[in-house]
Chain A
Amino acid sequence: MPECINPIWPCALTGAVAFLAGYTGISVVIHGSSGCYYYPKSLIRTPLYGSFILHDEVVFGTGERLRSVVSDVSKRGGRVAVVNSCVPALMGEDLAPYLDGYSALFVDAPGFLGGVESGYRIAGEALMSEAAITADGVNIGGVCLLDPFWRGNLHEAGRMLARAGIPVGTVVAADHIEAISHAAPLTVTVNPDYPAIIGEDSGSLLGISACSDTIMQVAERVPGADPSPLLDECRLAEERAIAACEKYLRRHDPPVAAIAAQAGYASFFDDILRTYLGAGSSLILPRNDSSGIAVTDYAAIADALSSDEYTLILGSSYEHQMQPCAAFVGITPPQRGRVILGSPPLAGIEGMLNGVEMILNACMDRKKKF
């Protein structure tokens, strides 16, 4: 792999831990060094455990140490998930015998396998191999504790589905661990960059037209579902968004935007900018490579952002630091130096309205400053 300069997207281990930490009823043990523990711990605000292996264990084997930690964690009740990090993974040690007698899920997600999304998928595949489709309705997928909008997305998806009379099977990945035994046959996603693994992919709730399409598609397959109240809501929400943007455009030019985010969110905001604000295509710097080559080097991003006079930046606090004079909307972790306590969504109808609102407020605030 070519070298990289200040990579700004977390590793596969972090993605796997974020997936599993979304479940209650299962304790997550990071099998690795303290360094591999502290970073995910700093991002994921849930209890996590670590095996904190040392030099001697690397030489003589880490199994006994892992078993000791799993034994202690098991006493707290519930299941245990072990996420394997780089060094024990490449030692090639067979750790399965050390987990005998415990209800432990072993997930091999060393950081060198890739980025967050890779780890999320690996953990998802491991856990969902135990899932059972026994419920009606749809699952909600695409929830990840690393996503600053995960709680808002979850609330909004739940609200919309309830309004349409569509029952929810399980939420991937933010549910009780036992809920994977009651999964539904269909899955809608709130963030397409985090795959749900379980259920038939039945569309996305990201963006107003995707919401309409998905709700209609799901309603056709779920007995008793009624999409009409939501379709009315979509239409009214879009009218409100258009009205607000038109008012802004009576006094201002469309923003020239650069978006540094996961591919799904980047596409969502690019669509808002073009559809409602008449902006040209945004510069998109995807964090992951699901729809192009990921751009995660700090230096490469800084170069790209200095290539034009962008008036609006959507991204993380890294991009905000690079272009402090542009209007800024924080949509990508990390968001350092900002307090985020509430649960705004990006998915669903409220998510679209929130997206438009964030852009307009950021642009208007910039106009007041300069």
Chain B
Amino acid sequence: MILNHSHTDISRNEGCTLTGALSVTCFLQDAVTVIHGPAGCTHHNASLLHASLAENDCSDIPLLVSSNVSEEEVIFGGEGALMQAIRSAESYNPSLICVISTCIADTIGDDTAAVCRERRGIPVVHIPGSGFLGGGFSDGIHNALMRLMDLSSPDISSPDDSMMIVGEKNLEYEAEENYAEVSRLLSLLEIDSGLRFVRRMPANDCSRISSARYAILRDPSLYPIGSALSSRFGTGIISGFPIGLEGSLRFLRQAGEVTGIDSYAAIRDEEGMQEDLVASFSDLRGIPVSINTSLADPGVLGAARTVMNSIGMVEEEPGIPIPLPFDPPVGTTGIRRMLQSWRRCISRA
């Protein structure tokens, strides 16, 4: 139970910057993440990753090295402990070491960035992750993506025409299904999905980020990342994954514009698929339903009402309460899953 949430004060309750940064670095293959702070901070996140990855049938948890800051380091400084932790990380011979600072490291005044800058045989990237001192969960994601982007050279030797996917929500239960839907839509335009920056991406592929000519952001909130990609490497940006029926068509149009591919046929194909989808749920037509809009994401609400109108469902009080997904439904396939959950809910009512 949380008290004193302010709507203007999102970072107070959105979660730890460290967790956000880890949700990126832990999905770099062949990289080791060092967390400069107490062991408890690392444990909290190892436990979260253990739980999240287990739900996605992944039995290994990523390697997290804690500098294990205790009372002694709090008093005398923790830079020595950080150096020791980095040496420990080096012993695994990774391609990259990501060092994330915690609020304790920042509060005691350790110069984490300076320790990371020391010359080593393996590149070491410092990612600010100092809990509430550095913002919230989404700031952690932004910080990590920005710092990893620094590993890419602006000199592009061979431009990549596939579509880079930026900032997938790695802790999301449906992450792979959402990726598959985006890939399906891209395939209608005969575009391949390319680098996944960052989801199960080899650390060395960070150097290839600049070669991607086009990129899709997972979410419009990643605008600063898209802006940086665009200004530094000239990457063409699509601002978010497609949400709902209309969003899918808009996505195809936008992808066509960015890549210079005629999207007319692809949009016609997708419209046909959407008409079939709506027809297959005609049994829901005329059913009075109600939606709890108080905490609903506007994107979810918009996508839900669009498809309700298409089918002819009636929103009224008191109607059968139907659930909304936590995250906006991605693509036409996401809408199908939402409709299936509504059908189950209505059949139980």
Contacts and interface: CB of A to CB of B under 8 A. Distances in A.
Whether chains A and B associate is yes
Interface of A: 1-14, 33-39, 42, 47-50, 52-55, 58, 68-69, 72-73, 86-87, 90-91, 110-113, 296, 298-299, 317-318, 321, 324, 334, 336-337
Nearest to B18: A35
Contacts of B104: 86-87, 90, 112
A4 B132 contact: no
A135 B11 CA distance: 48
Interface in B122-142: 131-134, 136
Nearest to B72: A1
Given A7-B39, A321-B54, A49 B107 contact: no
Interface of B: 1-4, 9, 11-19, 38-44, 46-48, 50-51, 54-55, 59-61, 63-74, 81, 84-85, 88, 103-104, 107-108, 131-134, 136
Contacts of A50: 2-3
Contact of A7 (B19, B66, B71, B136): B66
Contacts of A5: 63-66, 88
Given A6-B46, A111-B39, 10 more contacts: A6-B42, A34-B132, A35-B41, A47-B1, A49-B3, A50-B3, A54-B11, A90-B104, A296-B43, A334-B47
Contacts of B59: 321, 324
Given A1-B69, A8-B47, A34 B14 contact: yes
A317 B72 CA distance: 32
A112 B38 contact: yes
A52 B67 CA distance: 25
A73 B1 CA distance: 11
Contacts of B61: 6, 298, 318, 321
Contacts of A9: 43
A48 B1 contact: yes
Contact of A4 (B11, B66, B72): B66
Q: Please list the 10 inter-chain residue pairs (A to B) with the smallest Cβ-Cβ separation, ordered nearest first.
A: A11-B40, A35-B16, A111-B40, A33-B132, A3-B85, A39-B44, A112-B38, A52-B12, A7-B39, A1-B68
17 contacts: A1-B72, A5-B66, A7-B42, A8-B46, A13-B40, A34-B14, A35-B15, A36-B16, A38-B15, A52-B2, A87-B132, A111-B41, A112-B71, A112-B104, A298-B61, A321-B61, A336-B54
B195 to A, nearest CB: 27
Contact of A10 (B40, B71, B72): B40
Contacts of B48: 39, 42
A113 B73 CA distance: 11
A318 B43 CA distance: 12
A321 B66 CA distance: 21
A14 B13 contact: no
A6 B71 contact: no
B88 A73 contact: no
Contacts of B74: 90, 112
B113 to A, nearest CB: 18
Output the residue of B9, B39, B50 with the most chain A CB within 10 A.
B39
A3 B47 contact: no
A287 B2 CA distance: 31
B54 A69 contact: no
B40 A35 contact: no
Contacts of A48: 1
A182 B132 CA distance: 41
A10 B44 contact: yes
A298 B46 CA distance: 9
Nearest to B34: A3
A336 B133 CA distance: 31
Nearest to A73: B3
Contact of A11 (B1, B19, B38): B38
A316 B17 CA distance: 27
Contacts of A33: 16, 103, 131-132
A113 B46 contact: no
A54 B18 contact: no
A325 to B, nearest CB: 12
B3 A86 contact: no
B2 A49 contact: yes
Nearest to B51: A336
A10 B74 CA distance: 19
A1 B81 contact: yes
Contact of A69 (B3, B18, B55, B73): B3
B3 A72 contact: yes
B107 A90 contact: yes
A87 B85 CA distance: 21
Nearest to B132: A33
A14 B50 CA distance: 18
A219 B145 CA distance: 65
B54 A6 contact: no
B42 A112 contact: no
B16 A11 contact: no
Output the residue of A5, A42, A299 with the most chain B CB within 10 A.
A5
A337 to B, nearest CB: 5
Given A112-B104, A334-B51, A86 B38 contact: yes
Contact of B43 (A2, A10, A86, A299): A10
